Amino acid sequence: MRNGAEHVQLITRRRLLAGGAVLAAGAGITLLQACAPTAPTAQPTAVPVAPTLPPAATKAAAAPTAAPAPTAVLTVAPTAVPVAAKPTAAPTDQPVSMSVSTSRGAHYNPLWYCCGSQIATLPWILMGLARQNTQGQFEPWLASSYTLDDSGSTVTIKLQPTARWSDGQPITAADVVWTWELWAAPWIHGPASAQSKVWGLAGATEFNDGTADKIAGVQVVDDHTITAKLDPPNALWTIGQQMDFGILPKHVFDNWPKDKLADNPYMDAPTVSSGPYKFVKYELDQYIEMMRWDDWWGNTVWKQPKMTHVFAKQLDPPTAIAQIERGELNVAAVPGQEMERVQKMPNVELFRVPSLGMLGYWYNQRRPSLQDKRVRQAFDFALDKEAIRKAVNFGLGKPTATTIMGPDWALDPSVKPRPYDPEKAKALLTDAGFDASQTLTYLLVGSDAFVKSLAEVFQQYLGQIAVKVDLKTVTSAVEIPEFDKGDFDIGLIGGGEFARDPSLSAAYFRSDTAWASKWMGYNNPRLDELFKQGVSTSDPKKRAPIYFEVQQILNDEVPWLLLWQLEQVWAADKRLGGFTPYVMSTSTGASLLDWTWK
């Protein structure tokens, strides 16, 4: 039986197939044409094999305007740049937007300062004593100065005398001490990173474990001066401690129960601010909106920012790149695989700058197979790091032998990365009596293609010197329990802020640290002594020979097999003036005070 639509012309199955084929072919050609010109470079998933690795196409004609990390900031005088007292009008009210990274536990609670979105914005809303500049160095911000005595046992902090909160209250030493106590408090409902910021202050441990009702080493001298004793003495405390944590307005929390701090509305919306921008809105995992505080007290100390309306968008890299191409975003960090595509965008300028961090493999020396340093050296010789860098990392990065990567005065020119020499690697393994029948375990955390490719590269290169490696894949949720368990031999490590100061390497290699003692099983008393000496003075001339020896030891003992120093790539809207590339992907907006529309 036919339905009632006989008037509709029928077509045969053959005609249908022919028509469908034509349609499909047409659609396919259209798609291919549409996708061909600017399709992004694929993420490298294939495992490159030494020694004939083809170099990846990386020809970003970037403007490497930023120098490597400069010399360390030590004790500081105010860097105030006096500007006309009357604020100048911004050229336009057009909002500016930048992408900021998200991290696990992304949030805006100022007590939980930890992640990309906050690092990029909070210093502009709630000023810390210092803030990181585009080179990753700390500069005085809410503090007019912070000075360490020669022995490194006492730091004196002076606050900007004209500083005030946006509700008109003065910013005083009491705010600083109260904030420090919050960071040290055990009842704070937040990640552990916040508590580490006051670590090193004498009495912080006792305050944390409840045996003291205040941090004993901290003294308020007057409304704008604080002294803090350091335990142990550390002439570089102001460098190692990240003093960019926002100081909070104590008066907002007066009479608020300390164990209910998270319930104070201020924790969701810090509307009383101290910086050049006021908090407007935080859409969880979406964006942070800031508006310029036109009457900011700092206009006369620094300068008034020209951008009136700022958005920090929490975007993953592919979305950020699509948005910057479309003009919906003005500044973004660029992953290596997107570099070529971004370079072709007519509206965008590309920047490359050495980063403070590094990438490499770390050894679990709790396992007997890796306790002989000749085995670790052999693996270093077995990897063609230059070929890996080109093939897997799009040519980004700079060779480095150890985590002492800067400043320049700290670098021992005699310490160089080991060359690719598989024969020497085999000889070293033979000398060490390495049991070739055993299989090493590589801990692969997560499913990121880049991380996976580095694991496979390691596996293949070691296969060439007859060392078998199995990959053990776990989720990031069990990373730390796996570290604790230690049922593996090699892992991947990356990031950090090593190039800011050589003393920062101590946090990994000193034998009393969690990394060295709990996870790496690494212990070198001489290194401990050197790291202690390295922070006993702030004079680079005295410190340089100390860290030269540190580099020699690290290069000889190879607790980590370094691949390269990271390199940061940025894309900025060509209409944006005053943009400076930053050494850290988290510090998007570090030059926000200089931004202007061209």
Partner 1 sequence: MGRYILNRVLIALPVLIGITILNFVFLHLAPGDPVTMMMPTDPTVGASSMAQTQEWQQYQRARLGLDKPLPVQYVLWVRELAQGNFGRSIASGYSVLPEVAHRLGSTLELTLTALAISIVLGIGIGVLSAVSQYSVLDYLATFCSFLAVSVPGFFLALLFIYLFALKLHVLPTSGMSTLGGPASLSDAVVHLIMPAAVLGASGTAALMRFTRSSMLEVLRQDYVVTARSKGLSERLIVVRHAFRNGVLPIITVISLQLPGLFGGSIIIEQVFYWQGMGMLGIKAVFDRDYPVIMALNLISAMLVLSANLLADIAYAFADPRIRYARTLR
Other beta carbons within 10 angstroms of residue 155's beta carbon come to: 26
Interacting span for partner 1 (CB under 8 A) from 61-69, 128-136, 143-151, 320-328: 320-328
Q: How far apart are the C-alpha atoms of 208 and 513, rounded to whole Å?
A: 19
Strand partners, 350: 571
Interacting span for partner 1 (CB under 8 A) from 8-16, 52-60, 537-545, 589-597: 8-16
Smallest gap, in angstroms, from Cβ of residue 502 to partner 1? 13
Nearest of 251, 252, 235, 245 to residue 129 by alpha carbon: 245
The reply to whether 244 sits near partner 1 by the rule CB under 8 A is no
Smallest gap, in angstroms, from Cβ of residue 303 to partner 1? 23
Contact with partner 1 (CB under 8 A) among 189, 229, 398, 424: 189
Residue pair 330/595 in contact by the 8 Å Cβ criterion: no
Smallest gap, in angstroms, from Cβ of residue 95 to partner 1? 3
Tokens of 450: 């880049």
Interacting span for partner 1 (CB under 8 A) from 168-176, 191-199, 212-220, 556-564: 191-199
Q: How far apart are the C-alpha atoms of 558 and 545, rounded to whole Å?
A: 20
> According to CB under 8 A, which residues from 280 to 299 bind partner 1?
283-287, 289
Smallest gap, in angstroms, from Cβ of residue 512 to partner 1? 7
Q: Would you give the binding string for partner 1 spanning residues 475-504, x where CB under 8 A is met?
A: xxxxxxx-x-----------xxx------x
> According to CB under 8 A, which residues from 503 to 542 bind partner 1?
504, 507-508, 510, 512-515, 518
SS3 call for 338: helix
Smallest gap, in angstroms, from Cβ of residue 109 to partner 1? 5
Which of 326/416 has CB closer to partner 1?
326
> According to CB under 8 A, which residues from 81 to 100 bind partner 1?
94-95, 97
Which of 3/414 has CB closer to partner 1?
3
> According to CB under 8 A, which residues from 248 to 277 bind partner 1?
262, 267-268
Residue pair 100/312 in contact by the 8 Å Cβ criterion: yes
Contact with partner 1 (CB under 8 A) among 307, 315, 530, 592: 315
- Contacts (Cβ under 8 Å, ≥6 apart) of 421: 381
Which of 223/328 has CB closer to partner 1?
328
Kindly report each contact of residues 544-550 with a partner whose C-beta sits within 8 Å and lies 24 or more positions away, as own/partner.
Answer: 544/409, 544/410, 547/404, 547/410, 547/412, 547/502, 548/412, 548/414, 548/415, 550/402, 550/404, 550/502, 550/505
Nearest of 298, 276, 171 to residue 589 by alpha carbon: 276
Which of 178/199 has CB closer to partner 1?
199
Q: Give the orientation angle of helix 385-392 with respect to helix 449-463, to 10 degrees.
A: 150
DSSP 80-93: -----SSPPPPS--
Nearest of 333, 322, 337 to residue 572 by alpha carbon: 333
Cα angle value 117/118/120 (rounded, 5°): 75
Which of 23/436 has CB closer to partner 1?
23
Q: Which residue has the tokens 């006993």?
A: 536
The reply to whether 105 sits near partner 1 by the rule CB under 8 A is yes
Smallest gap, in angstroms, from Cβ of residue 470 to partner 1? 19
Interacting span for partner 1 (CB under 8 A) from 185-193, 223-231, 372-380, 541-549: 185-193
Cα angle value 302/598/335 (rounded, 5°): 90
Contact with partner 1 (CB under 8 A) among 58, 101, 121, 242: 242
Which of 270/422 has CB closer to partner 1?
270
Q: Tell me the site size for partner 1, rule CB under 8 A.
A: 81
The b/e string for 330-340 (b: 16+ C-beta within 10 A; e otherwise) is: bbbbbbbbbbb
Which of 223/316 has CB closer to partner 1?
316
Q: Would you give the binding string for partner 1 spanning residues 192-231, x where CB under 8 A is met?
A: xx-xxx-x-----x--x-----------------------
The reply to whether 335 sits near partner 1 by the rule CB under 8 A is no
Smallest gap, in angstroms, from Cβ of residue 478 to partner 1? 4
> According to CB under 8 A, which residues from 429 to 458 bind partner 1?
none
Other beta carbons within 10 angstroms of residue 252's beta carbon come to: 18
Nearest of 335, 296, 298 to residue 319 by alpha carbon: 335
Q: Which residue has the tokens 């190692």?
A: 240
> According to CB under 8 A, which residues from 399 to 428 bind partner 1?
none
Which of 193/227 has CB closer to partner 1?
193
Cα angle value 165/114/177 (rounded, 5°): 45
Smallest gap, in angstroms, from Cβ of residue 522 to partner 1? 13
Other beta carbons within 10 angstroms of residue 11's beta carbon come to: 10
Q: How far apart are the C-alpha atoms of 464 and 49, rounded to whole Å?
A: 9
Smallest gap, in angstroms, from Cβ of residue 196 to partner 1? 3
The reply to whether 190 sits near partner 1 by the rule CB under 8 A is yes
211 alpha-carbon distance from chain centroid? 35
Tokens of 513: 């640290």
Residue pair 40/343 in contact by the 8 Å Cβ criterion: no
Smallest gap, in angstroms, from Cβ of residue 192 to partner 1? 3
Q: Residue 389: what residue type? A: R
Contact with partner 1 (CB under 8 A) among 165, 207, 237, 311: 311
> According to CB under 8 A, which residues from 23 to 82 bind partner 1?
23, 31, 34-35
Smallest gap, in angstroms, from Cβ of residue 426 to partner 1? 33
